[in-house]
Amino acid sequence: MAENDSTRVPAGALSPPAPLIDIGINLAHESYDCDREAVIARAEAAGVVQMIVTGSSAASSAAALSLARQHPGKLFATAGVHPHHATELTPAVVAQLRTLALEPQVVAVGECGLDYYRNYSPHAAQQQAFHRQLELAGECGMPVFLHQRNAHEDFIAILREHRSVIAGGVAHCFTGGAAELESYLELGLAIGITGWICDERRGAHLLELVRRIPADQLLLESDGPYLLPRDLTPKPASRRNEPVYLPHIAAVVARARAEPAQSLARSSTEAARRVFRLPRIDTN
């Protein structure tokens, strides 16, 4: 049977030497509405065997769970409110998140944290929402899916306040410097690396920093539809990112660490399964 063009792995994508897990994909985003199933199929064809769909509001968290239910064992979800939407975290929304968090397909609380770069919500509201979601993660015994931009000091202070009850988590889409990295590692957090590392304008410093991340704390994520790797060759016609390009990110990280690609793929996949308690999947 001829391969469907919509599910074919595009030029510029790589196949990994071992199965990969995308720990952060905004698959409920409207940019995937026309071809979501094809995006999933392309990822699987490229060796991305499991994906965690990011929830960033009550609505998108519910949508992420719905997608996970449609693809049992392959898609999972997070449930949380991004700092951009911090003012939406009412007691009723907290109750909704708690209900979602108890579903077996939901593997983390978040995306939660602080964002002082965009400032779409007041700092006080962001901090309050962050505290409440960390409390929720502690109540549910779940890891956290964390976001931080231009807010490191407040972010790390709040995390340290809750460290005794947090069941692990990931500093999602890490783009910071050495001091930030060390503080996250000291808290036992995993580090999510995206296509930012492929951007010579903004992410070149990560090529050195990824060498400092222990293998069991290094996770890979596309963060699609955002952060399409800038160094793809040939360049895709669309600027939309998707998980099919995760093997390319893995190859860049492996080269930066002077590590065999097979080793990096295996360790990042095992780390993702440990952090988020994901089941193994038969890839034969």
Q: What pLDDT, in 10s, does the model give residues 169-223?
A: 999 999 999 999 999 999 999 999 999 999 999 999 999 999 999 999 999 999 9
Q: Helix (H, G, I), strand (E, B), or coil: what is residue 222? A: coil
Cα(120)–Cα(147) distance, integer angstroms: 14
2 band by pLDDT with thresholds 50, 70 and 90: very low
- Report the distance separating Cα 25 and Cα 246, nearest Å: 11
Number of domains in the chain: 1
Can you give the pLDDT at residue 14?
Answer: 60
Pairing of strands 218-220, 190-193: parallel
Which pLDDT belongs to residue 3? 43
Q: Is the pLDDT of residue 153 over 50?
A: yes
Residue type, 93: V
Residue 281 lies in a domain: no
Residue 122 structural domain: 17-276
φ/ψ (deg, to 5) at 197 = -65, -15
Mean of all residue pLDDT scores within the chain: 94
In a domain, 283, yes or no: no
Average pLDDT over residues 66-71: 98
Q: Is residue 9 part of a domain?
A: no
Nearest partner of 16 among 256, 264, 193, judged by Cα: 264
> Looking at residue 192, which CATH number applies to its domain?
3.20.20.140
pTM: 0.94
- Beta bridge partners of residue 219, listed in sequence order: 192
Q: Specify the higher pLDDT residue, 107 or 166.
A: 107
Per-residue pLDDT at 25: 98
Burial 54-82 (b: 16+ CB within 10 A, else e): bbbbbebbbbbbebbeebeebbbbbbbbb
Whether residue 282 is contained in a domain is answered as no
